[in-house]
Amino acid sequence: MTGASPRLTRRLQLSGLLVGLGLAVEALTMAWSHPTAFLAFLLVGGTLVGLGVLVYLYAIVSN
């Protein structure tokens, strides 16, 4: 095993950061009963998770 390339490592870490943040926002908003929570879930959490997944897919395709 030679280890992942630095570029792949960076992209996986960026993806992990985005997805992790997105999931954290989603989990926090689940505990709050308010229309703003729904919007934050979708617009902030969903966008971060979506971006993170795209970065991950790009990382594995371009590697």
CA distance 61 to 58: 5
- Cβ 38 vs Cβ 11: under 8 Å: no
35 binds another protein (CB under 8 A): yes
Structure tokens at 51: 């971006």
Determine, following the binding rule CB under 8 A, whether residue 33 of this chain makes contact with another protein.
yes
Residue 44 amino acid letter = V
Q: Applying CB under 8 A, what is the total number of residues that bind another protein?
A: 39
**Residues in the site for another protein, rule: CB under 8 A?**
1-4, 8-9, 12-13, 15-17, 19-20, 22-24, 26-27, 29-31, 33-39, 41-42, 45-46, 49-50, 52-53, 56-57, 60
